[in-house]
Amino acid sequence: MDSVTGLQPFGPSEALTLGVELELQLVSTHDYDLAPYSEEMLRLMALHKLPGNVVPEMTSSMIEISTGICQSSADVLGELSQIRDALVQCADKLNIAVVGGGTHPFQQWHERRIYDKPRFRELSELYGYLSKQFTIFGQHVHIGCPNADAALLMLHRMSRYIPHFIALSASSPYVQGQDTQFDSARLNSVFAFPMSGRAPFTLTWDGFSEFFDKTTRTGVVKSMKDFYWDIRPKPEFGTIEIRVFDTPLTIERAAALAGFVQSLASWLLHEQPFMPHEDDYMVYTYNRFQACRFGLEAVYVDPVTGEHMPLRDHIQLTMQRIAEHARTLGAKAGLQVLREDAELGTNDARWLREHQAREGLLAEVVRQGAVKFKGKG
């Protein structure tokens, strides 16, 4: 810990390295509702020698997988593929299935069980029913930063692209059997927590440490884990962690999104195209809402000029700017898929709605989602 504050020093990491976490749904193959099998899954997964980690999440129908430190989105896909295959094998033994998506389409939050772990019990006591409503599923992408000040600069530069991340990953249109009219309803649940939203605007680690010291003195927070910001520093890893992605329906899309983050970070780090400013955040909440509500049909407000344009056009513009970095990093193919999806307005939320329109039964949509997650749909 820092001698002056309780904030952990920002650790060393190789710039632009990647780490990905995915929160996944465990569902019964009987009715495709969530099933409380995380403990059994963890026990079976422990028998497999795998990269990264497999850990419990807030409620017992969730499981989180993570990669190790990766150099590229191809590495991310390689590690996630190994973990996915083991998950599917273990799930088959338990007569359950594993599914992506940011929300389960029809589960009832009051039926959830808090996983028996001290931190989860503590959060449940503090947040009450919100803890069970936090049965939502996200992808987190870590990007290595050369030092603490560079991490904060990257964090605030990256904030302009939060709508892009939300719209491309959106996969949570349904909550408790209802179409919410949002492409990403998941983030509405995150916003219910008091320490959600965006990080304070400071570009120096000393300034951030001072902020952290003040908040811990008030007793409002105890550690960095208590901040549910859209992007937060992760000092123990030497990274920033982007947390707005819904869990995609496939690991291929998860890897492509990680490649997008890495390519964008490379452009920001090497070309230093602009300096972030506190005024960037004047349109932040509006842009974030637009992306959650309308996905790739959203309007994007440029934080500098105030110009309104279709978000999908700004995604295309961004992809053009970072194309050379994507090629160098081996992320070109994944970005091309995302770019085409943006042009067509296609994301996982659209896939879910189209399948529900065809099937008329959300349980069947979840079943087909489980097949898709296996890489067979």
Give the number of other Cβ atoms within 10 Å of residue 377's Cβ: 12
pLDDT digits (tens, 9 = 90+) for 85-98: 999 999 999 999 99
Amino acid (1-letter code) at residue 266: S
Sign for the pseudo-dihedral over CA of 175, 22, 72, 86: negative
Mean pLDDT of the chain: 92
Check residue 139 and report its DSSP letter: E
Lowest mean per-residue pLDDT among 63-67, 116-120, 195-199: 116-120
Label residue 3 by pLDDT band (50, 70, 90).
Answer: very low
Per-residue pLDDT at 147: 97
pLDDT attached to residue 126: 65
The token duo for 186 is 């998941």
Structure confidence at residue 275 (pLDDT): 97
Nearest to 322 by CA among 306, 338, 308, 309: 338
pLDDT grade for 109, boundaries at 50, 70 and 90:
low
| Confidence check: pLDDT of 64 > 60 | yes
Given a cut of 50, is residue 251 above it in pLDDT?
yes
- pLDDT band for position 185 (cuts 50, 70, 90): very high
Confidence of residue 134 (pLDDT cuts 50, 70, 90): low
Contact 288, 186 (CB under 8 A): no
Q: What is the pLDDT of residue 202?
A: 96
pLDDT band for 219, please (50, 70, 90 cuts). Answer: confident
Between 130 and 371, the more confident residue is: 371
**pLDDT on residue 160:** 98
DSSP states along 9-67: P-----TT-EEEEEEEEEEETTT-SB---HHHHHHHHTTS--SSEEEE-SBTTEEEEE-
Rounded to 10 deg, the angle between the 251-271 and 148-158 helix axes is: 110
Residues 306-313: contacts with CB under 8 Å, at least 24 apart = 311/163, 311/164, 311/167, 312/167, 312/342, 312/343, 312/345
Mean pLDDT on 221-235: 90
| Mean local confidence (pLDDT), 180-188 | 96
**CA distances (Å), 230 to each of 44, 67, 346, 367, in order?**
33, 20, 23, 30
User: Which structure tokens are listed for 164?
Assistant: 């892009």
Angstrom distance (rounded) from CA 53 to CA 66: 5
What's the alpha-carbon Rg for the chain, to the nearest Å?
Answer: 20
Backbone dihedral angles phi then psi of residue 128, each to the nearest 5 degrees = 60, -135
Q: Taking residues 122-126, what's their average pLDDT?
A: 66
The mean pLDDT of 248-253, rounded to a whole number, is 98
How many Cβ atoms from other residues are within 10 Å of residue 302's Cβ?
14
Model confidence at 34: pLDDT above 90: yes
Indicate whether this model's pTM tops 0.75: yes
